[in-house]
A and B are shown apart, each in its own frame.
Chain A
Amino acid sequence: MRFTSRPKMNYMPGTASLIEDIDKKHLVLLRDGRTLIGFLRSIDQFANLVLQQTVERIHVGKRYGDIPRGIFIVRGENVVLLGEIDLEKESDTSLQQVCIEDILEEQRLQQQSRQEAEKTKHLALKERGLVMPRPDIMDEYGVQHQY
């Protein structure tokens, strides 16, 4: 097999640029915690990304599940980091893939346990007189509702 390499254009040596990453498979971590894996098709000056054949990968422990999503356009400011996926090494992973339903269930359980832990912690602190603001149960007037 003869591989012809794509002309290597170093657009901006010494800088970080996404131009060379185009058409490659990437893993993108978003600010809301989601992990997207897709082919980076297009970028712009704000590092907005166009991902194709995107899959949202949910990780719970050592297991993960993929949800096919299609085409994503991600606003640059919401990206925490992204990295190219080495297609050859992609399969060498100790993580185990499960089906989507299972992973979602696992995620839900994880969330639940986290919330409960948080709740108990909050309660313990409250008993000791320290009330930490919890944005999720606080309304716009700064009143915290815990039902």
Chain B
Amino acid sequence: MFRFQSLDEDCTLEKEEGLVEEEDEIDQFNDDTFGDGAIDDDWQEEHKRLAELEERKNEGLGGLGLGGLGMGGMGGGDASTVQLPPPASRVPHPSSLPPPHHSLSSMPPPGLEDRGGGDLAESLAMLILGADPAIASVGGPTGPGDRSTGLPPPPSMPQQHQLPPHQQLTPSGLPPGPLHPSLLSYQQHQHLLRRGGPPMQQMNSHNIWENNMGFGPVSVTPGLVTQMEDSPLMSIIKEVGLPNRPPPVMSEDGRDLSERAPPPRSSSPVIGSPPVRAVPIGTPPKQPMSHAMNHHQQIHHPTTVHVRAPVHHQHRYPPSFPERISPNTLLNMANSPLCRPPFPAGVGPVLSQIQRAQMLNSQVAGFPRGCQGPPLLPGGGGFRPFFGQPPPHRMGPHHNHVPCPIIRHNTTHLHPQHRRMLTQRMQSRGGERGGRVGDWRSRDPYSNLMTQREKEWVAKIQMMQLQSTDPYLDDYYYQNYFEKMEKRQERDRDGVRKEHTTKLITPQVAKLEHTYRPVQFAGSLGKLTVSSVNNPRKMIDTVVTSRTDDEEKREKQVWNKRRQILYTVEKMYSLLLEVQDFEKRFMQTPEEQREALLEQHKTHTLQLYASLREKEWDDRVSDEQCLLIMSVRKGKRLISRLIPFLPPLQAAAVVMGIARNLPALAKKDKQDQALCWLVEPVAVVISSLSSAALTDLLQELQGSEGQLSKVLQNKFGVTLLYLILSEGERMQSSDLNCQLMDDNRWTELVFSVTRELLNVPPSSLSPPLFTPPNLLSLFSRYVDRQRLELLQEKLQISSLSR
């Protein structure tokens, strides 16, 4: 009927003829059914191992358990994939709650019952009845064909196996060896193990089976109940109630188990359905869950035992006892081998401390104890669940021999890696076991949760943090302390064998240069900007230009000088401004203070001039100073504003100075032609000059060799020249008694001017600001007609302007 699903990677559903109705359920949970990752190739090994185990059990024990085993056997040689009940039932079995309790706690959830009751019941019935001749022989009313009544869902089936009565029924179908890989159902193992079950489990199998034959609303037979009550463990069950009562009363998080139950699946006897993954792939595979068991949890009744027909669930592999089992897992194992939700951990069923202790102890004891009684908690109670008081005494009478080989729960959910780790751990544990009894750590199923690798990893990180290029900088006191210690030890150990002092040796990391060199491609413009945390992008590609000292000095000097000039100019300006504002102020001040103001004014002007003039000579402007000031644009402006305020003599001196230094000034003025500001005031001055002074001025202008040509190149120079000539002409023309002609200087000068004017190439002759009109007449005095015309052309002197 039911065939075990072979766990190949590509699970194929094989349909059983008779159970077509199961199809829907299978499809519905297709995802779960064909989950990935949970299938592990190791199942064959496990299976073999378990088969051997079973064989041993078979030989060792007499009667086999109930039909549950038979179920596994599948009378007809069929096997169904059976959801193996939690392995816990095996281990804590001596001490833990008796199977009836399991069945208690594994009430099918109402949902399931509602849902698939009928179908499942039928299939289950078929399973049980058909497969197990023992049952059939016992039972009677419902033969193999009885499928009418709603059978509680398969998950409950295993419970039946675990009921004491099972002992009385020989699972005839129990194969000595694996009939089929799946035959070694967990239930079978359970039963095998329980063969030597506690006396209290001596229940009237007949009763149960009779009850169940009807597969009606299965309930515990009165007989069963009484028997339940007989055993002390039963009392515990009653005391505890059904842990999976939703919401679990003492559950720490109050979560309802049913919430975590995966959707009910076809339990199975599902024709050809693959082993049901009650635990979704990826859950910590503590124990195999009969997914369908979930449903049971919600139905709790302390006194009712839902005896379910054994269900062959998809878990074909006898679950082995994982090394790490959470307390809840244990609890689950103890409570119900079948009815465990997929997520047992942390949920609900809360046993009393006693029960927990029992379970845990038994679990602990479960290890290679062979047939010993449950050990009292070794090592001072290293594994006290919640540090409660473990009642070892309870375990005593109930203890059954613990299977020597470690039962592995259904580890098909495990990631292969996880499985391997468990295997390794188990093996190593087994290897260590020789003779070691007292070491509680070996009893600690949770030990080595942190693998060696992980520890090393943490240590590595800690060591990395200790890396230092400068240990003294990082931890001065640490270094000193250890040095002192070493010295002390050396002193103390003089002559004595040197003790090995543990010294922390931290790796010394060489200081690396982490300068950023931007990537450059040949022939490209610029650099790639690839930045990271360690190589932050440079914001600015600055290049430091460091000048030599000399250069710096020179530059500094230049700057200093300029600053000095500017400073002087500023000071003079302030004075000048005061002078300029004098008149305004004068008007405003009252009579009495006017005198004072006047004095002040005079002082200012004097000061101004003083700053310009030569040290000793009063009527000569210091060339140097003048140059300096005039070299600055502001200085030129200053002078131009200053001249009007100076007394005539001083003003003339200034103008002389200007004329004298005109080439130099002109050179500096090439760019902005600020000299032109000077035209106006200079013109004024010139017009007030005496002839002698004028001549002097002209002379100054022509001063050195080649000066005139330079003068002519400058606009201002030309203008100035014209001004002078014009003034001279005016003098001559206006005043017949002009002394200009008295000495030949003027004439000569004019001659040289004209000569120069004629000779100078037109390009270098800069146009003046304005051309005085009387130039032509001037020139006409001194030059012949031819030259005059030439001059006229050159200078573009209009003949009309006269």
**Which of B11-19, B396-404, B453-461 is the interface stretch?**
B453-461
Pick the contact of A11 from B326, B385, B455 — CB < 8 Å? B455
Residues of B contacting A11 in the complex (Cβ-Cβ under 8 angstroms): 455-456, 459
Report whether A41 and B504 are in contact in the complex, using a CB–CB cutoff of 8 Å. Answer: no
Q: Which residue of A lies closest to B346 (CB)?
A: A70
Report whether A4 and B436 are in contact in the complex, using a CB–CB cutoff of 8 Å. Answer: yes
Report whether B386 and A68 are in contact in the complex, using a CB–CB cutoff of 8 Å. Answer: yes
Residues of A contacting B382 in the complex (Cβ-Cβ under 8 angstroms): 25, 87
Residues of B contacting A53 in the complex (Cβ-Cβ under 8 angstroms): 327, 384-387
- Expressed in whole angstroms, the Cα–Cα distance for A19 and B458 within the complex equals 8
| CB under 8 Å from chain A, chain B span 283-317 | none
Contact with B along A1-44 (1 / 0, CB 8 A): 11111100011111101010011010000000000010101111
Report whether B459 and A12 are in contact in the complex, using a CB–CB cutoff of 8 Å. Answer: yes
Q: Which residue of B lies closest to A91 (CB)?
A: B380
Residues of B contacting A52 in the complex (Cβ-Cβ under 8 angstroms): 446, 449
- Expressed in whole angstroms, the Cα–Cα distance for A61 and B382 within the complex equals 27
Query: How many residues on B have C-beta within 8 angstroms of the other chain's C-beta atoms?
Result: 39
Residues of B contacting A127 in the complex (Cβ-Cβ under 8 angstroms): none
Q: Which residue of A lies closest to B455 (CB)?
A: A19
Residues of B contacting A3 in the complex (Cβ-Cβ under 8 angstroms): 436, 438-439
Report whether B435 and A42 are in contact in the complex, using a CB–CB cutoff of 8 Å. Answer: no
Q: Which residue of A lies closest to B387 (CB)?
A: A55
Report whether B252 and A41 are in contact in the complex, using a CB–CB cutoff of 8 Å. Answer: no
Residues of A contacting B437 in the complex (Cβ-Cβ under 8 angstroms): 1-2
| CB under 8 Å from chain A, chain B span 384-431 | 384-387
Measured between C-beta atoms, what is the minimum distance from A124 to chain B in Å? 43
Given that A12-B462, A68-B386 are known contacts, is A23 also in contact with B444, CB under 8 Å in the complex?
yes
Report whether A66 and B387 are in contact in the complex, using a CB–CB cutoff of 8 Å. Answer: yes
Report whether B386 and A66 are in contact in the complex, using a CB–CB cutoff of 8 Å. Answer: yes
Contact with B along A50-90 (1 / 0, CB 8 A): 10110100000000001011110000000000000001101
Report whether B252 and A1 are in contact in the complex, using a CB–CB cutoff of 8 Å. Answer: no
Report whether A88 and B439 are in contact in the complex, using a CB–CB cutoff of 8 Å. Answer: no
Measured between C-beta atoms, what is the minimum distance from B475 to chain A in Å? 11
Residues of A contacting B438 in the complex (Cβ-Cβ under 8 angstroms): 1-3
Q: Which residue of B lies closest to A44 (CB)?
A: B458
Pick the contact of B436 from A2, A39, A44, A88 — CB < 8 Å? A2
Q: What are 25 A-B pairs at a CB distance below 8 A?
A: A2-B436, A3-B438, A3-B439, A4-B435, A10-B502, A11-B459, A13-B502, A17-B462, A22-B455, A23-B449, A23-B450, A37-B387, A41-B446, A41-B449, A45-B458, A45-B461, A45-B462, A50-B449, A52-B446, A52-B449, A53-B385, A66-B386, A68-B386, A70-B252, A71-B346
| A interface residues with partner B (beta carbon < 8 Å) | 1-6, 10-15, 17, 19, 22-23, 25, 37, 39, 41-45, 50, 52-53, 55, 66, 68-71, 87-88, 90
Closest 7 CB pairs of A and B: A13-B502, A14-B504, A1-B438, A68-B386, A45-B461, A87-B380, A11-B459
